[in-house]
Amino acid sequence: MHQPLRLTLSKSAIQSNWRWLADHAGTACGAAIKANGYGTGARDAMLALQEAGCRDYYVSTWWEAEELGRMPVDSALSVLHGVGADDMVAALASTARPVLNSLEQVERWRTAAPDRACDVMVDTGMNRLGLRIEEIGALAGLRIDTLMSHLACADEDHPLNAAQLSRFRQVRAAVPAKRYSLANSAGICLGADYAFDLVRPGLALYGGIPRDEAAGNICQVAKVDAQIIQRRTIRAGETCGYGATFTAAADTPAAIINIGYADGYLRGFSSRGRAFAEKAELKVLGRVSMDLVALDASEADVGEGDWVELDYDLPRAAEASGLSQYELLTGLGARFERRWI
Ligand SMILES: *Cc1c(COP(=O)(O)O)cnc(C)c1O
């Protein structure tokens, strides 16, 4: 079945991003593939990363772990949200490791699977998930593969970064584990002090630029193309779209494309997004609808059936739309044909 909306995903780009992150960290490099591989398709992203040398993967839930399907034999999968009471059946049937986040989860795992390896999250300042530092005594005797913490402000120069690093070192000295891991994408950019034994990038693998250090080293992975359904002329003085927020000053050729906020192209792009056809630039006219966007086709000789590429350079699209680079990726909806090349 033809799909008028396409996401072209570059295997060489995700692999080159992984290599840059691994080299920059100077240590083992895993991959967060939660949220369907940040919108790109978790299984295909995982297989591309595996080919590059990645061996440690992270999803949020047991449902995501199940959806991934069979893991490569020499790889490991961790479930970041750990084991709630309702997760135990799935967790015990799975080969993935839970990341234990609370005293309740520690006790639940210790009782149900005392001999099985787990990961542990210790909170060093995020106050989201993880054991408090005062609680790490409860970890005695667990078979911990990776002891981790998560940085709250790594994308900024914030005093909390150094404070979390120092608390993490303190935890590392007190709790035996096979490996220690602190840094996400932005944390890798903070330098070797933050790398420990294993880093866990997500965003930057998929082309996001978490900090300036990554600019020029991380390549765009996802290319968004939409097909033109109709070319029409908006006459001088007429308006276009919901709310009539665009009024044509002169006769304006418009290309109406098959994408909208239901596909993750949110209303922040109204009058601000742009697309390309060959070298020509086409600006979004008026509001983004659920399934449609009007583009100014004055400069582009395009019509029904032609394709345009939306400007999805992540830092630039984030600036235009007011969305974060994370939201731009993870919002990409189910109606795209996802094509890894
Ligand atoms: C999502 C996540 C990551 C990856 O973060 P990015 O900012 O996307 O690099 C790493 N660690 C944990 C615990 C996460 O939840």
What is the reported pLDDT for 324? 98
For residue 183, the CA-to-ligand 1 centroid distance in Å is: 8
Does 32 contact ligand 1 (Cβ within 6 A)? yes
Whether residue 6 is annotated as binding a ligand: the answer is no
- CB of 321 closer than 8 Å to CB of 32: no
What is the reported pLDDT for 302? 98
**42-52 vs 11-25: helix crossing angle, rounded to 10:** 60
- Tens place of pLDDT for every residue, the chain, 341 residues? 999 999 999 999 999 999 999 999 999 999 999 999 999 999 999 999 999 999 999 999 999 999 999 999 999 999 999 999 999 999 999 999 999 999 999 999 999 999 999 999 999 999 999 999 999 999 999 999 999 999 999 999 999 999 999 999 999 999 999 999 999 999 999 999 999 999 999 999 999 999 999 999 999 999 999 999 999 999 999 999 999 999 999 999 999 999 999 999 999 999 999 999 999 999 999 999 999 999 999 999 999 999 999 999 999 999 999 999 999 999 999 999 999 99
Q: Where are the beta strands (DSSP E) in the chain?
A: 5-9, 28-29, 31-32, 56-59, 76-79, 97-100, 118-121, 144-148, 179-181, 198-199, 222-234, 239-240, 246-247, 252-257, 274-277, 280-283, 293-296, 307-310, 337-340
How far apart are the C-alpha atoms of 23 and 277, rounded to whole Å?
36
- Cα angle 336, 58, 193 (rounded to 5 degrees) comes to 120
Helix (H), strand (E) at residue 38: helix 34-38
What is the reported pLDDT for 299? 97
Hey, where are the domains in the chain?
Answer: 11-208, 222-312
What is the reported pLDDT for 222? 98
Choosing from 124, 131, 184 the residue with most ligand 1 atoms within 8 A of its CB, the one to mutate for a pocket test is 184
Structure token pair of residue 127 = 């106050």
pTM above 0.95, yes or no: yes
Chosen CATH of 11-208 out of 3.30.470.20, 3.20.10.10, 3.20.20.10, 3.40.50.1010: 3.20.20.10
Look at the chain and count its residues: 341
Active-site residue numbers? 34, 242
What is the reported pLDDT for 204? 98
Whether residue 88 is annotated as binding a ligand: the answer is no
Point out the ligand 1 atom lying closest to the alpha carbon of residue 155: 7
User: Which CATH class for the 222-312 domain?
Assistant: mainly beta
What is the reported pLDDT for 11? 98
How far apart are the C-alpha atoms of 76 and 30, rounded to whole Å?
9
Does 181 contact ligand 1 (Cβ within 6 A)? no
Does 184 contact ligand 1 (Cβ within 6 A)? yes
- Give the count of beta carbons closer than 10 Å to the beta carbon of residue 58: 26
